[in-house]
Amino acid sequence: MAADRTDQWLITRCKEQQKQLNAGRTALLPQGAVVVNAARGTLLTTGIARGAARLARRTRRGTTAVKEGVTMPVEMIGWIAPRVSSEIIPPSGPPFDAKVIAETARIHERAGFDRVLIGYFSDGPDGFLVGAHAASVTDRLSFLLAHRPGFAAPPVAARKLATLDQLSAGRLAVHIIAGGSDVEQAKDGDWTDHDARYRRAGEYLSLLRRTWTEPAPFDHQGEFYRTRGTYSEIRCRQQPYIPIYGGGGSDAAIRALVPHVDVFMLWGEPLKDTALFMDRVCREAALSGRIPTFSLSTRPILAATEGAAWDRARAILDRVLLNRGGAPPPLRQNVGSKRLLQAAAEAEVHDTCLWTSLAVAT
């Protein structure tokens, strides 16, 4: 087994999480499947639904993942794109392909995934419509919709999200992306600086929740938003509101998001670094009386044996470099990516199977 980030945790009790992470080791299941450690779930972002399906079939919800004698239920979250593309498959076809969306959603549902992430890109199709189409061709699969604050007023976004939750029969969650790239934000006309974007996200989430839950019209006056007589007749199918995900590696992200999100999302790093970061989030959450849940994102690379998995990993890296045609990897502004690159500078492999070369290349 090889992975370019780390094995995965989604954990609800901070103290238990810390002990488990500090003592954690990875293992192999039959056919080379990854042991996924989670208290509620895990986020899988391979971008290739068919290849990821094998992992989901072996560790789907209702089964158990094994770690040092501890068993925990697992939630699998995949990834859906509006066209044929991934980190190893160059984009092809139209930028919005309804057939690809439908087939990818069905593959995830048949494979036993619990949820799929619908990404947000400054040059891509509207995620609300991607989600609505995917929901129309599935019955059980849930959706994690990436959403950037700042481009729709919170009451408007609250109604849009509630509408999609109703349309999907209660299968929606939202992933708040405050914006880790000035370039991406500028493409959509947002010139707010990094720390202010996270403060805005915190206020945005507070106003979202009020719009979903207040029984009567209310006024709001904050740093970024001012409303009068705000009220939404349409409410979320899930009560009191849909699950809220969010993340970020900076102090500004932790301060702004931890009081509001249900799941704090992390990139996979070496186990020691992950444990320390989770401790920071837990300490911040304690200030508002919250117990956070975590999601760590990985790209599992599977094969029948350990050696075959490493061979496949290196073949994937060769393909990524070939597709890039000698161009340098993109520069990343966000703190999470910088932390990954720092781990890569320290070692190519951490914790027996945390392989960093692909993270550097992408």
CA-closest candidate to residue 359, choices 237, 264, 268: 268
pLDDT for res 17:
39
This model's pTM is above 0.85: no
Per the listing, tokens 């929740």 go with 209
Q: Is 190 left (phi over 0), alpha (psi -120 to 50) or beta?
A: beta
Q: Which residues contact 58 (CB under 8 A, 6 or more apart)?
A: 29, 30, 31, 33
E runs forming strands in 183-277? 218-221, 226-230, 244-247, 263-267
pLDDT confidence of residue 61: 43
Strand order in 2-3's β-sheet?
300-301, 2-3, 354-355, 349-350
Q: What is the pLDDT of residue 56?
A: 45
DSSP type of residue 216: S
Architecture of the domain defined by 8-313 = Alpha-Beta Barrel (3.20)
Please report the pLDDT score of residue 323 as a whole number.
Answer: 78
Mean pLDDT by 10 residues, the chain (362 residues): 33 38 32 28 31 42 50 79 82 92 96 94 93 98 96 97 99 92 86 93 98 98 98 98 94 94 89 91 93 85 91 89 74 69 80 81 70
pLDDT for 320 equals 85
What is the spatial distance between Cα 7 and Cα 35, in angstroms, rounded to a whole number? 8
Task: Report CA Rg, the chain.
Answer: 20
